[in-house]
Amino acid sequence: MAKKRIVVLTTGGTIAGVGESGKDTGYVSGQVPGRDLVASVPELAEYAEVSVEEVCNINSDDITDRIWIALANRVKELQEDESVDGIVITHGTDTMDETAYFLSLAVKCEKPVIFTGSMKPSTAKNPDGPANLLGAVRVAAGFAVDDDPPANSVWVYFAGSLFDARNVQKCSASALDAMGVDAAGDGSDLNAPREKNFFDVSKLESLPRVNVVYFSVDANPKVLEYAACVSDGLVIAGAGSGEFSKAWAEKLEAIDIPVVIASRTNHGVVTLNETLASGRICAGTLAPQKAAVLLRLCLTVSENPRVIKKFFANA
């Protein structure tokens, strides 16, 4: 049987990081070129015909909307290329969940798209990047996890597990199995609901600006006022089921841009408190950073909260 052709798109991150030989910390992300990253895992050739393209080579905290759009456009082209069977994307773990979720909303995938990365740099004593890259390519080529091949969606493969882009989140700052499930996750990653929303970004150069504002005890409500001045939409990471102080609620009344209410707890369902946030948009089970991704895309279609609420209801 002919090997499937897998295209690896690299964006940098810890998996391409370089530091002092043998050490896990004190490294600089996004240093190893994509071709060298793939060449360092010769076992890939046993499972697929692999080619590599470097989209960027940076720390994932420096990812921008323009990079997202360029990545989405390239993935769309590869989806339409009959000679390509699957796509693997290497990415820093810090914002991998956001990029994966964005891509799941911006590209209709008929072929598997698998994100992966690492918690240790390439120069560590026992780097985890090679095993994660090999696993991601295996999954993309049809050598699936637990004999259950991925559906037509966007996935994250990490430390031997496969997660749906809708439900994945970085859950540890240091563990090798740092990727897990977020607020909507119940452990059944492969059976997670598929996204119903889709947004065409192919003709866009940038996305509307959305900032996340984190509530804590006695937080100054003026931060909402400032954030609104530099945003097209806001997400509030509230306490509990999206709660915040009466002082914040009073300040929120004067803000006339779309505002989504999410929870900082990373588990459970947000139930919108109308006495605090009347007419605002409920994030449901979306984590704040995922809600921000969806809101940015919604704002490319409409600024009407009623329209945006429908998108969030389908998330």
206-219 pLDDT per residue, tens: 999 999 999 999 99
- Does residue 5 sit in helix, strand or coil? strand
pLDDT above 90 (res 143)? no
Q: For residues 124 and 126, give the distance between their C-alpha atoms in angstroms, rounded to a whole number.
A: 5
- The domain over range 210-313 is classified in CATH as 3.40.50.40: yes
Q: For residues 226 and 313, give the distance between their C-alpha atoms in angstroms, rounded to a whole number.
A: 28
CATH of domain 4-191: 3.40.50.1170
CA distances from 120 to 128, 135, 176, 177 (A): 6, 16, 8, 11
The mean predicted confidence, pLDDT, of the chain is 93
Percent of the chain with pLDDT over 70: 92
Non-local (6+) Cβ contacts of 266 within 8 A are: 169, 171, 182, 183, 287
pLDDT, position 26: 94
pLDDT above 70 (res 243)? yes
Residues with a known catalytic role: 14
Which residues are bridge partners to 213 per DSSP?
Answer: 236
CA distances from 107 to 8, 69, 123, 187, 202 (A): 17, 10, 34, 25, 9
- Whole-model pTM: value is 0.94
Where exactly does CATH 3.40.50.1170 map onto the chain? 4-191
Q: In which residue are the tokens 């979306």 written?
A: 286
Where exactly does CATH 3.40.50.40 map onto the chain? 210-313
Assign 261 a pLDDT band (cuts: 50, 70, 90). very high
